[in-house]
Amino acid sequence: MSETPLALTVNGEPVRCSASTTASLLEVIRDQLALTSAKRGCDQGACGACTVLVDGKRINACLALAHSHAGRRIETLEGLARGGLNPLQAAFVAHDALQCGYCTPGQIMSACGLLSEGGTLDRATIAERMSGNLCRCGAYSNIVDAIAEVASV
pLDDT per residue over 58-84, tens digit each?
A: 999 999 999 999 999 999 999 987 888
The tens digit of pLDDT for each residue in 20-31 reads 999 999 999 999
Residues β-bridged to residue 9:
14, 73
- CB within 8 Å of 17: residues ≥ 6 apart: 5, 6, 8, 28, 32, 33
pLDDT at 13 over 80: yes
Q: Does residue 21 contact residue 65 with C-beta atoms inside 8 Å? A: yes
Q: Are strands 3-10 and 13-20 parallel, antiparallel or unpaired?
A: antiparallel
Looking at the structure, give the CATH architecture of the domain made up of residues 87-151: Orthogonal Bundle (1.10)
Residues 120-152 have pLDDT tens digits of: 899 999 999 999 999 999 899 999 999 999 998
Cβ-count burial of 34 within 10 angstroms (0-12 exposed, 13-18 middle, 19+ buried)? exposed
CATH T-level assignment (fold) for domain 3-80: Ubiquitin-like (UB roll) (3.10.20)
128: region left, alpha or beta (phi > 0 left; psi from -120 to 50 alpha): alpha
Query: Rounded to 5 degrees, what angle do the CA atoms 64, 106, 77 make?
Result: 95
Report domain extents, the chain: 3-80, 87-151
Looking from the CA of 55 toward its CB, the CA atoms found within 13 Å total: 5
Residue 57 has pLDDT above 70, yes or no: yes
**Under DSSP, is residue 113 helix (H, G, I), strand (E, B) or coil?**
helix
Q: Are 74 and 81 in contact (CB under 8 A)?
A: no
Question: What count of residues does the chain have?
Answer: 153
pTM above 0.75, yes or no: yes
